[in-house]
Amino acid sequence: MAEALTLPVVPPLSRKDFVSDQEVRWCPGCGDYSILAQTQKVMPDFGFPKENIVFISGIGCSGRLPYYMNTYGFHSIHGRAPTLATGLKAARPDLMVWVITGDGDALSIGGNHVLHSMRRNVDIKLIMFNNRIYGLTKGQASPTSEMGKRTKSSPAGTIDQPVMPLSIALAAEATFVARSVDTHTEHLQATFESAGRHHGSAFVEVLQNCNIFNDGAWRAFTEREVRDDRMLFLAHGEPMIFGKDRDKGIRLRGLHPEVVTIGEDGVTVDDLLVHDEHAEDPYLAFMLSRLSYPEFPVPVGVFRSVDHPTHDKLMQAQIDEARAKSGEGDLEALLNDGETWVAS
Amino acid sequence: MTTETPARHEDQVQELERVTIRFAGDSGDGMQLTGTQFTRTAAVFGNDISTLPDYPAEIRAPAGSLPGVSGFQLSFSSSEIHTPGDQPDVLVAMNPAALKTNIMDLPAGGALIVNEDAFNQQNLKKAGYASNPLTDGSLKSYTVFSIPISALNARALDGLDMTSKQVDLTKNFFALGIMFWLYERSMDPTLRWIDEKFGAKPIVAEANRRALKAGYAFGETTEIFHTHYRVPSAHLPAGKYRNITGNEAAALGCVAASKLAKRDLFYGSYPITPASDILHQLSTYKNFGVRTFQAEDEIAAIGAAIGASYGGAMGLTASSGPGIALKLEAMGLAVMVELPLVIIDVQRAGPSTGMPTKTEQADLLQVMFGRNGDSPLPVVAPATPAECFDYAIEAWRIALKYMTPVVYLSDAFLASGSEPWRIPDVADLPSIGVENHTDRASFQPYARDPQTFARPWAVPGTPGLEHRIGGLEKADITGNVSYDPENHHRMQLLRREKVARIANDIPELQVAGPATGELLILGWGSTYGAIRSAVERLQAQGRSVAHAHLRHINPFPRNTEAVLRSYRQVLIPEVNLGQLLMLIRARYLIDAIGLDKVRGKPFRIAEIEQTALDLLDRK
Total domains present in chain B: 3
Domain boundary among B230, B258, B287: B230
Q: Which chain A residues touch B312 with a CB distance below 8 Å?
A: 91-92
CB distance B325 to B350 below 8 Å: no
In a domain, residue B7? The reply is: no
**Closest C-alpha to A207, from A233, A189, A230, A180:** A180
**What pLDDT band is residue B58 in, cutting at 50, 70 and 90?**
confident
Dist CA B398 CA B543 (whole Å): 38
Q: Which chain A residues touch B291 with a CB distance below 8 Å?
A: 90-91, 315, 319
In a domain, residue B156? The reply is: yes
User: Is the pLDDT assigned to residue B1 strictly greater than 50?
Assistant: no
In a domain, residue B238? The reply is: no
Mutate to test the interface with B, among A22, A114, A335 (most CBs of B within 10 A): A335
Percent of chain B with pLDDT over 90: 93
Sheet with B545-550: strands ordered across: B511-512, B545-550, B517-524, B567-574, B593-596
pLDDT of B57 reads 83
User: Is the pLDDT assigned to residue A2 strictly greater than 70?
Assistant: no
Say whether both B224 and B106 belong to one domain.
Answer: yes
**Domain at B529, CATH number:** 3.40.50.920
Angle between helices B202-221 and B171-182 (to 10 degrees): 40
DSSP of A237-273, one letter per residue?
Answer: TSB-EESTTS-EEEEEETTEEEEEETTSTT--GGGS-
In a domain, residue B557? The reply is: yes
Work out the average pLDDT over A35-53: 96
Say whether both B535 and B574 belong to one domain.
Answer: yes
Antiparallel, parallel or unpaired: β B69-77 and B18-26: antiparallel
DSSP of B235-291, one letter per residue?
Answer: -PPSEEEEEEEHHHHHHHHHHHHHHHHT--EEEEE---TTTHHHHHHHTT-GGGT-E
Say whether both B499 and B525 belong to one domain.
Answer: no
Say whether both B43 and B137 belong to one domain.
Answer: yes
Say whether both B204 and B309 belong to one domain.
Answer: no
Give A89→chain B minimum CA distance, Å. 8
Mutate to test the interface with A, among B287, B292, B333, B371 (most CBs of A within 10 A): B287
Q: What is the pLDDT of residues A131-189, one digit of tens each?
A: 999 999 999 999 999 999 999 999 999 999 999 999 999 999 999 999 999 999 999 99
Mark yes or no for CB contact B468/A115 under 8 Å. no
Sheet with A256-261: strands ordered across: A241-242, A248-253, A256-261
**What pLDDT band is residue A1 in, cutting at 50, 70 and 90?**
very low
Mark yes or no for CB contact A87/B288 under 8 Å. no
pLDDT of B226 reads 78
Could you please state the CATH topology (level 3) that the domain comprising A15-233+299-318 is classified under. Answer: Rossmann fold (3.40.50)
Task: Tell me which chain B residue has its CA closest to the CA of residue A71.
Answer: B466
State the residue range of the domain holding B553.
511-617
In a domain, residue B313? The reply is: yes
Work out the average pLDDT over B564-590: 98
What ipTM was estimated for this complex?
0.96
Percent of chain A with pLDDT over 70: 97
Say whether both B385 and B446 belong to one domain.
Answer: yes
List b or e across B163-193, with b for residues whose CB sees 16 or more CB atoms inside 10 angstroms. Answer: eeeebbbbbbbbbbbbbbbbbbbebbbbbeb
Work out the average pLDDT over B227-247: 92
Mark yes or no for CB contact A51/B465 under 8 Å. yes
In a domain, residue B167? The reply is: yes
Q: What is the pLDDT of residues A117-142, one digit of tens each?
A: 999 999 999 999 999 999 999 999 99
**Domain at B254, CATH number:** 3.40.50.970
**What pLDDT band is residue A6 in, cutting at 50, 70 and 90?**
low
Say whether both B162 and B46 belong to one domain.
Answer: yes
Dist CA B31 CA B73 (whole Å): 10
pLDDT of A8 reads 55
Domain boundary among B476, B505, B534: B505
Torsion of CA A307, A312, A315, A318, to 10 degrees: -70
Q: Which chain B residues touch A120 with a CB distance below 8 Å?
A: none
User: Is the pLDDT assigned to residue B575 strictly greater than 80?
Assistant: yes
- Beta bridge partners of residue B21, listed in sequence order: B74, B90
Domain boundary among B230, B262, B290: B230
DSSP secondary structure letter of residue A105: I
pLDDT of B93 reads 97
Percent of chain B with pLDDT over 70: 98
Say whether both B149 and B85 belong to one domain.
Answer: yes
**Closest C-alpha to A144, from A124, A112, A167:** A167
Mark yes or no for CB contact B311/A92 under 8 Å. yes
In a domain, residue B27? The reply is: yes
Within a 13 Å sphere around the CA of B23, how many CA atoms are in the beta-carbon half? 30
Q: What is the pLDDT of residues B282-295, one digit of tens each?
A: 999 999 999 999 99
Say whether both B477 and B539 belong to one domain.
Answer: no
Structural Rg of chain B based on CA atoms:
27
Antiparallel, parallel or unpaired: β B111-115 and B90-93: parallel
Q: Tell me the CA distances in angstroms from B138 to B87, B99, B120, B148, one per residue in order.
A: 19, 12, 17, 19
Say whether both B107 and B197 belong to one domain.
Answer: yes
Helix (H, G, I), strand (E, B) or coil at B517: strand
Say whether both B495 and B565 belong to one domain.
Answer: no
Work out the average pLDDT over A277-282: 97
**Closest C-alpha to B35, from B109, B91, B108:** B91
Task: Tell me which chain B residue has its CA closest to the CA of residue A48.
Answer: B461
Q: Which chain A residues touch B463 with a CB distance below 8 Å?
A: 49, 51
Say whether both B367 and B459 belong to one domain.
Answer: yes
Q: What is the pLDDT of residues B7-44, one digit of tens each?
A: 555 557 889 999 999 999 998 899 999 999 999 999 98
Work out the average pLDDT over B220-249: 90
Q: Which chain B residues touch A328 with a CB distance below 8 Å?
A: 287-288
Task: Tell me which chain A residue has its CA closest to the CA of residue B192.
Answer: A339
In a domain, residue B240? The reply is: no
**Closest C-alpha to A268, from A253, A252, A249, A254:** A249
Q: Is the peptide bond before B53 cis (omega within 30 degrees of 0)?
A: no
Give B292→chain A minimum CA distance, Å. 9
Q: What is the pLDDT of residues A72-95, one digit of tens each?
A: 999 999 999 999 999 999 999 999
